[in-house]
C-alpha cells in the first residue's frame, strides 16, 4: 500500500479508537447533571450514591479518552504536513479554542467533581458538574466546526505566496532573484480557482470571514446529529448497566432510578435524532451531492429517485479494471429519496418530481475541466469515477447506521412503555428478562452506529480532504515513507490493545462494585445470584 492509503488507515484507526470515549463522556455528563440536580432539589441520598458512581465511571472514560486523543494532534504534522500548511490558518483556530477553553474548562472542573464531594457544598458541586458537561459539549462543538469546514468550506479565499520586487514584479517563491530585494506577499487568487498539484507548498487557504467559516453550511446539522448521537450512547451505557443490576438483583433501588433516567434520556434523544438526521441528509444532498449518491447507490440522475433500504452495491469495471459505474441490488422504495430530499412531506406526489443527481453526473463537468484543463469529453467521462467516494462501503455503513438507530429507538420506546405500565420491573417474567438482556447490547449498538456514521461522513468526502478544494493525496507529507507509517500503525495497535484491556477491566470492576450507599456501608439490596448459592463466581 502507498503512503496515502497507510496514512488514511492510521488516522482512521486512531480517531475511531478515540471516538469510542468522548460520546460516552458527553452523554454521561448530561446524566450527571440530572442526578446532581435531583440530589440538590430532593436531598435523596440515592441520587448522591448514583452521582458518585457515575462520576467514577465518567472519570475513567475521560482519562482514556484524553490519552487516545493526543496522537491525532501529532499526525497533522507528521503524516499530513501539506494539509496542515494549506489549512493551518483556518483549521488551527477551532482546535486552539477547543484546547484553550473547552478542554481546560472540562478538566479543571473535573477535579472539583471528582474530589469535591466532602470539600464543597452540593450547589457548588452541581455547578462543577454543569461546567464539566458544558466543557465536554464545547469540545465537541469546536472539533465538529473544524471537521465541518473540511466538508463544506466557507469564509475563506485561496492565496499564493509570491516574491514581490520594488517595481511590482511578482515571482514564484522558488525563483532565485539574486541580489534583487523582494518581500514575500500573499496574492489573492480568483474565487473559482482550482488547486493544482504544483500549487502545493505555495497556495493556502486564508480566513476571510471567521463567522462564515465557523457557521459553514454543514456545521449546525452535523453538530446536532453528532451530539444527539453522544447523548444516545451515554444514555444506553446507563440503561445497560442498570439493566444488568436489575437482572442480578443488585442495588434494586439505585438500579430503578438509574434505569428510569437512562430510558427517558435515550427516548428523547432517539426521537430528536430522527429529526436531526433528516435535516443532515438534506444538507448532504444540497452541499455534497456526490456523497448522497454514493450513500444511496444512485447511479442515474432524475426525478422519482428511490430510497434504498437494504442490499448491495458493487463497482462496474471495464476490461482493464477501471471503474466505469456502479451496480446495485437492493430493496428500494420508489420515489422516497426524492420526497426526503425535497422535505415536502405534505405533498409527497409533487415532491417525487424532485430531481436527485446520480453519480454518472458527479462531480460536475466544470470542476473536472478545471482540474484537468484541455481534457476531451471522453477523458472527462473516464476521469469522473476517480472522483467518487467508495460507494460500496458507503452504502453499507450508511444503512448500518440507520438500522442500528431504528433498533435503539425501538428499545427506548418499548422500555418507556413498559416502565409506565410497571411491566419493566417484573424481572421474573421471561419476556422482560430477555428484553433486559437485549439492553445489555445497546451501548455496543450505539457505538457501532456512531462509528458507521463517522465512516460515512469521512469516506463520503473522499477523494477530497477539503471538499472539492484539496485532494487527500495532495495532503500527505512529502517526506514520510510507507514503512514508517506501517510501523507506527502496528505500535498503535499494540498500545490500543493494552488500553482496551485496561479500560474493560477497570470498568467491569466499577460495575461490580456499583453505587456505595452514603456513609460507606455495604451495598443495599439482595446479594447477587452467584453469592446466594454459597459460592462466589464474580459477574
C-alpha distances out from residue 456 to 148, 332, 470, Å: 14, 20, 19
Give CA 344 to chain center in angstroms.
28
Residue pLDDT, tens place only, 179-231: 888 888 888 998 888 888 788 878 889 998 999 999 999 999 999 999 999 99
pLDDT at position 532 is: 40
What pLDDT, on the 0 to 100 scale, is given for residue 529?
A: 39
* Total-model pTM: 0.90
At a CB cut-off of 8 Å and minimum separation 6, what does 538 contact? 512, 530
CA gap 451, 218 in Å, rounded:
19
CA 135 to each of CA 110, 130, 229, 235: distance values in angstroms, whole numbers, following the listed order: 10, 8, 17, 18
As a 3-state breakdown, the chain gives helix, strand, coil percent values, each rounded to 5, of: 65, 10, 25
Question: Residue 464 pairs with which residues in a beta bridge?
Answer: 471
Q: Residue 427 class from Cβ within 10 Å (0-12 exposed, 13-18 middle, 19+ buried)?
A: middle
Q: How many helices (H) and strands (E) in the chain?
A: 20, 8
Euclidean distance between CA atoms 439 and 266, whole angstroms: 12
The dihedrals phi and psi of 8, each to the nearest 5 degrees, come to -65, -40
Residue 457: alpha-carbon gap to chain centroid: 8
Q: Are 507 and 237 in contact (CB under 8 A)?
A: no
Contact 221, 272 (CB under 8 A): no
C-alpha cell belonging to residue 73: 494532534
**In angstroms, how far apart are the furthest CA atoms of the chain?**
95
**Is 205 within 8 Å of 174 (Cβ atoms)?**
no
Paired strand residues for 160: 187, 203
- pLDDT tens digits, the chain, 539 residues: what are they? 888 999 999 999 999 999 999 999 999 999 999 999 999 999 899 999 999 999 999 999 999 998 888 888 788 888 898 888 898 888 888 888 887 777 778 888 988 999 988 888 999 999 999 999 999 999 999 999 999 999 999 999 999 888 888 888 888 777 888 888 888 888 899 888 888 878 887 888 999 899 999 999 999 999 999 999 999 999 999 999 999 999 999 999 999 999 999 999 999 999 999 999 999 999 999 999 999 999 999 999 999 999 999 999 999 999 988 999 999 999 999 999 999 999 888 888 888 999 999 999 999 998 999 888 889 999 999 999 999 999 999 999 999 999 999 999 999 999 999 999 989 999 999 999 999 999 999 999 999 999 999 999 999 999 999 999 999 999 998 888 999 999 999 999 999 999 999 999 999 999 999 898 875 444 444 444 334 433 333 33
pLDDT digit string (tens) for 124-179?
Answer: 999 999 999 999 999 999 999 999 999 999 999 999 888 888 888 888 777 888 88
How big is the CA angle at 336 (ends 277 and 393), to the nearest 5 degrees? 60
The angle subtended at Cα 44 by Cα 39 and Cα 49, nearest 5°, is 75
Q: Please give the helix or strand (H or E) that residue 330 lies within, else none.
A: strand 323-333
Which string of DSSP letters, residue by residue, matches 238-285? Answer: HHHHHHHHHHHT-SHHHHHHHHHHHHHHHHHHHHHHHHHHHHHHHHHH
Indicate the DSSP class of residue 307: E
Helix ranges, 429-520 (H): 430-440, 442-459, 472-475, 482-513
CA distance 94 to 32: 27
Amino acid at each position: 500500500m502507498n503512503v496515502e492509503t497507510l496514512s488514511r488507515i492510521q488516522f482512521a484507526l486512531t480517531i475511531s479508537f478515540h471516538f469510542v470515549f468522548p460520546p460516552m463522556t458527553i452523554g454521561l455528563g448530561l446524566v450527571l447533571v440530572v442526578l446532581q440536580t435531583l440530589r440538590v432539589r430532593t436531598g435523596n441520598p440515592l441520587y448522591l450514591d448514583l452521582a458518585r458512581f457515575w462520576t467514577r465511571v465518567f472519570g475513567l472514560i475521560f482519562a482514556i479518552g484524553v490519552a487516545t486523543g493526543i496522537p491525532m494532534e501529532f499526525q497533522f504534522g507528521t503524516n499530513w504536513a501539506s494539509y496542515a500548511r494549506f489549512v493551518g490558518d483556518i483549521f488551527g483556530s477551532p482546535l486552539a479554542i477547543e484546547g484553550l477553553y473547552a478542554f481546560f474548562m472540562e478538566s479543571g472542573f473535573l477535579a472539583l467533581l471528582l474530589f469535591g464531594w466532602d470539600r464543597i457544598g452540593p450547589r457548588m458541586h452541581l455547578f462543577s458538574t454543569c461546567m464539566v458537561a458544558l466543557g465536554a459539549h464545547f469540545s465537541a462543538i469546536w472539533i465538529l466546526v473544524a471537521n465541518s469546514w473540511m466538508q463544506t468550506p466557507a469564509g475563506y479565499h485561496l492565496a499564493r505566496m509570491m516574491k514581490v520586487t520594488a517595481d511590482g514584479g511578482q515571482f514564484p517563491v522558488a525563483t532565485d532573484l539574486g541580489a534583487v530585494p523582494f518581500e514575500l506577499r500573499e496574492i489573492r487568487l480568483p474565487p473559482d480557482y482550482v488547486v493544482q498539484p504544483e500549487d502545493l507548498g505555495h497556495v493556502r487557504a486564508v480566513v476571510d470571514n471567521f463567522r462564515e467559516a465557523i457557521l459553514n453550511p454543514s456545521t449546525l446539522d452535523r453538530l446536532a446529529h453528532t451530539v444527539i448521537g453522544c447523548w444516545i450512547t451515554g444514555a444506553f451505557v446507563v440503561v445497560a448497566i442498570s439493566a444488568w443490576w436489575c437482572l442480578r438483583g443488585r442495588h434494586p433501588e439505585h438500579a430503578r432510578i438509574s434505569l428510569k433516567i437512562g430510558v427517558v434520556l435515550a427516548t428523547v434523544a432517539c426521537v430528536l435524532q430522527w429529526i436531526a438526521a433528516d435535516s443532515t441528509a438534506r444538507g448532504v444532498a444540497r452541499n455534497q451531492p456526490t456523497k448522497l449518491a454514493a450513500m444511496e447507490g444512485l447511479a442515474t440522475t432524475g426525478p422519482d429517485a428511490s430510497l434504498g433500504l437494504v442490499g448491495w452495491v458493487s463497482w462496474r469495471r471495464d476490461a482493464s479494471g477501471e471503474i466505469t459505474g456502479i451496480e446495485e441490488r437492493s430493496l428500494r422504495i420508489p420515489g422516497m429519496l426524492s420526497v426526503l430530499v425535497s422535505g415536502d412531506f405534505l405533498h409527497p406526489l409533487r415532491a417525487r418530481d424532485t430531481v436527485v443527481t446520480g453519480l454518472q453526473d458527479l462531480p460536475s463537468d466544470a470542476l473536472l475541466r478545471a482540474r484537468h484543463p484541455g481534457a476531451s469529453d471522453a477523458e472527462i467521462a473516464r476521469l469522473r469515477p476517480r472522483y467518487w467516494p467508495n460507494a460500496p462501503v458507503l452504502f453499507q455503513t450508511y444503512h448500518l447506521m440507520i438500522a442500528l438507530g431504528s433498533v435503539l429507538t425501538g428499545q427506548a420506546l418499548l422500555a418507556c412503555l413498559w416502565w409506565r405500565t410497571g411491566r419493566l420491573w417484573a424481572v421474573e417474567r421471561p419476556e422482560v428478562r430477555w428484553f433486559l438482556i437485549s439492553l445489555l447490547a445497546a451501548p455496543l449498538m450505539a457505538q457501532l452506529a456512531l462509528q458507521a456514521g463517522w465512516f460515512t461522513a469521512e469516506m463520503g468526502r473522499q477523494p477530497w480532504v477539503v471538499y472539492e478544494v484539496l485532494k487527500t493525496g495532495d495532503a500527505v507529507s512529502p517526506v514520510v515513507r510507507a514503512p514508517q507509517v506501517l510501523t507506527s500503525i502496528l505500535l498503535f495497535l499494540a498500545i490500543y490493545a493494552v488500553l482496551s484491556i485496561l479500560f474493560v477491566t477497570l470498568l467491569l470492576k466499577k460495575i461490580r462494585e456499583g453505587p456505595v450507599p452514603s456513609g460507606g456501608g455495604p451495598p443495599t439490596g439482595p446479594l447477587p445470584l452467584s453469592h446466594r448459592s454459597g459460592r462466589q463466581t464474580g459477574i
